[in-house]
Chain A
Amino acid sequence: MLELKGIRWQLESGEEILKDVSLTVPDGKLTVITGPNGGGKTSLAKIIAGLEKPTAGEILLDGKNITDWDITERAVNGIGYAFQQPVRFKGIRVRDLLELAAGETLTEGEMCDVLGEVGLCAQEYIDRDVDASLSGGESKRIEIASVLARRNSKVLVFDEPEAGIDLWSFTGLIDAFEELKHKHGEALLIISHQERILDIADNIIVIADGKIRMQGDKDEILPKLLAGEKGNKCPLGKDKKGGMQ
Chain B
Amino acid sequence: MNDTTFSLLSILSDDFNGTYNGAFNIRENSQCAGRRSTENIKIESKTDEPGLDIYIKPGTKGETVYIPACVTHGNVDDLVYNDFHVGEGADVVIVAGCGVHTDNDEEAKHNGIHRFFLAKGSHVLYKEKHIGTGNGTGAKKIDPVTDAYLEEDSVLEMDTVQISGVDSTFRKTSAKLGARAKLIIHERIMTDGDEKASTDFSVDLNGEDSGVDLISRSVAKGSSHQEYHSRISGNCRCTGHSECDAILVGNGTVNAAPELFAGNIDASLIHEAAIGKIAGEQIIKLRTLGLTQEKAEEKIIEGFLRG
Interface residues of A (CB under 8 A from B): 49, 51, 70-72, 75-76, 80-81, 83, 87, 89-93, 96-97, 100-101, 103, 129, 146, 150
Contact = CB atoms under 8 A, between A and B. Distances in A.
A152 to B, nearest CB: 10
Contact of B282 (A70, A87, A129): A87
Nearest 3 pairs between A and B by C-beta?
A91-B307, A91-B303, A92-B303
Given A51-B284, A83-B285, A90-B245, A103 B290 contact: yes
Contacts of B287: 70-72, 75
B293 interface: yes
Given A72-B293, A100-B299, A91 B288 contact: no
Point out which of A71, A93, A103, A150 has the most chain B C-beta atoms below 10 A from its C-beta: A71
A91 B289 contact: no
Contacts of A71: 284, 287-288
A146 B304 CA distance: 19
A146 B282 CA distance: 14
Contacts of A49: 288
Instruction: Tell me if B's interface is mostly helix, strand, loop or mixed.
Output: helix
Nearest to B286: A100
Given A89-B282, A92-B300, A100-B299, 16 more contacts: A49-B288, A51-B288, A71-B284, A71-B288, A72-B292, A72-B293, A75-B288, A75-B289, A76-B290, A81-B288, A87-B281, A90-B304, A90-B307, A101-B290, A103-B290, A150-B289
Contacts of A129: 307
A93 B302 CA distance: 12
Contacts of A75: 287-291
Interface residues of B, number: 23
B306 interface: yes
Interface in B247-301: 279, 281-282, 284-293, 299-300
A89 B299 CA distance: 11
Contacts of A81: 288
A92 B281 CA distance: 14
Given A87-B282, A100-B299, A146 B307 contact: no
A91 B292 contact: no
Contacts of B288: 49, 51, 71, 75, 80-81, 83
Contact of B303 (A76, A90, A103, A150): A90
20 contacts: A49-B288, A51-B284, A51-B288, A70-B287, A71-B284, A71-B287, A72-B292, A75-B291, A87-B285, A90-B217, A90-B245, A90-B307, A91-B303, A92-B300, A92-B307, A96-B299, A100-B289, A100-B291, A101-B289, A150-B290
Given A51-B284, A71-B284, A89 B303 contact: yes
Nearest to A80: B288
Contacts of A146: 289
B197 interface: no
Contacts of B150: none
A18 to B, nearest CB: 20
B305 interface: yes
Contacts of A89: 282, 300, 303-304
Contacts of B281: 87
A49 B288 CA distance: 7
Nearest to B299: A100
